[in-house]
Amino acid sequence: MNTRPRDPRAIRLGAIAWIASVQFFVAQFVAQSAWTTPFSLARNYISDLGNTACGPFPPDSGMYVCSPWHAAMNASFVAIGVTVVSGAALIRNAFRHARLSPWGLALVALGGFGFVLVGLFPENVHFPPHRLGATLNFICGNLGQVVVGASMLSSRHGQRWAGYSIASGVVGSIATALFASRHDLGLGLGGMERLAAYPLPLWTIAVGIVLGRQARLLASRSEREHHAELGG
């Protein structure tokens, strides 16, 4: 990953936005810990944490859903969507040598927008836009990682991250296909959904940490060069 020296501040802000994806995992832990009925990572969907009612869901199923902290979870969905989208816009210069990167980051941003829809339209309130949001997140978010990774393959310094990005997106994409076809491979549908959903936020956290360090180094270097020019 190479950053453009003239704009390290924007890249650093974007990196911070992506690192903030960690709140998504914290929110899930807090929301599920508030359940008074059993919560299963294998059987319950992530969206059950944002369900605003108490009762069987889906209505014709034997799954009882009751999430006291649903408002916090839905706020977390919206928050991670906003930070993923804004981060993708702010860090675009970090991939300036990679021709495919704008397309990959656009897909990642669409995945982030999917998070927003999931939070604004809980599964039991308005399911069609909720399902659209989940679809955007799973398909676009994972495909975006693959495209960003492919764009870095020709970079000598970015090949390791290219491999990670492609692998992360491929795992998420395969999990999405298995989840959509209701094949859980023993993980439960809730477990398979998490395998489809988690690669994107984990990827944004990892990439955000690396870009944040690079942007800080660039800012320090630019400041030293500026002082040297003034002194000269």
Tens of pLDDT along the chain (232 residues)? 554 445 788 889 999 999 999 999 999 999 999 999 889 999 999 999 999 999 999 888 888 999 999 999 999 999 999 999 999 999 988 776 667 888 999 999 999 999 999 999 999 999 999 999 999 999 999 999 999 999 888 776 667 889 999 999 999 999 999 999 999 999 999 999 999 999 999 999 999 999 988 776 665 555 444 444 444 4
The reported pLDDT for the residue numbered 82 is 98
Nearest-angstrom CA–CA distance, 84 and 201: 8
Say if residues 120 and 212 touch (Cβ distance below 8 Å). Answer: no
Instruction: For residue 173, give both structure tokens.
Output: 């994409």
The reported pLDDT for the residue numbered 214 is 78
pTM over 0.75? The answer is yes
At 83, which amino acid appears? T
The reported pLDDT for the residue numbered 213 is 84
Say if residues 66 and 36 touch (Cβ distance below 8 Å). Answer: yes
What 3 state SS string does 73-87 have? HHHHHHHHHHHHHHH
Nearest-angstrom CA–CA distance, 187 and 49: 19
Instruction: Say which residues have a Cβ less than 8 Å from residue 159's Cβ, sequence separation at least 6.
Output: 152, 153
The reported pLDDT for the residue numbered 223 is 47
Nearest to 189 by CA among 43, 48, 41: 43
Say if residues 184 and 192 touch (Cβ distance below 8 Å). Answer: yes
Instruction: Say which residues have a Cβ less than 8 Å from residue 149's Cβ, sequence separation at least 6.
Output: 104, 161, 162, 163, 164, 165, 166, 167, 168, 169
First-last CA distance in the chain: 32
Say if residues 86 and 17 touch (Cβ distance below 8 Å). Answer: yes
Nearest-angstrom CA–CA distance, 214 and 8: 8
The reported pLDDT for the residue numbered 186 is 94
The reported pLDDT for the residue numbered 229 is 46
